[in-house]
Copies of this chain bind each other. A is one copy, B any other.
Amino acid sequence: MKKEISILLVDDHTLVRDGIASLLSKIDGISIQASCSTGEEAIGLAHTLQPDLILMDIMMNGMTGIEATRWIKEQNPDTKIILLSTEVKREFVAAGIKSGIDGYIPKDASLEILATAIETVMRGERFFTEAITKLVFEDFYLQEKTGKKRIHKVNDGLTKRESEVLELVAEGISNREIGDRLFISVKTVETHKMHILDKLGLKNTTELVKYAIKNNIISI
């Protein structure tokens, strides 16, 4: 018989908190060590009780679950933290991942899912529900989609040479250095630059840099 998993439950809605506690009691190998209703309390209890895992609501009065996570993870990196949320919002998930959570599940998840989540997280892995994974992957997808535009670059009416110069200028390389790299004189570089500004309707190098970033010609 292996050691039970001690859990700290954090939610500012008593009914919800007790309800979840009741559900969890049905699962073998788990014991609710304590529960509280604020992030501040959670930080204190996490420190004194050293629970294996913390189940925490994300939206609470005062300190949010995310802020609390950051504090707790800083002091007790080994304590697993799963955030509970009424809704799957991009910002929450993102902030959660950033603050170091081990799992994130919506409150409408089944007990089975919760059990799986606890099990997974205690194994040292992360657990996210389908919906969240989908959200992150979709975001990844979109990021790629927009990011990939740097491959088949938009036709901005620039010639090949001008594009080369544009890129180097935007990188922050001096005209002389660009000339050296392209084996042309500074004057030629300057002329290309002028043409670029003309064609793109920009008025100086600063705007050119911004254009280059906006159009993914360079990365920041």
Contacts and interface: CB of A to CB of B under 8 A. Distances in A.
A144 B137 CA distance: 14
Nearest to A139: B140
Number of copies: 2
Main secondary structure of the interface of A (DSSP, over half): helix
B210 A148 contact: no
Contacts of A86: none
A220 B147 CA distance: 12
Contacts of A174: 204
A213 B220 CA distance: 8
Interface range for A? 35 or more
Nearest to A219: B210
Interface string A117-160: 00000000110101001101101110111001000000000000
Contact of A97 (B95, B141, B205): B141
Contacts of A161: none
A218 B91 CA distance: 18
Interface in A47-98: 94-95, 97-98
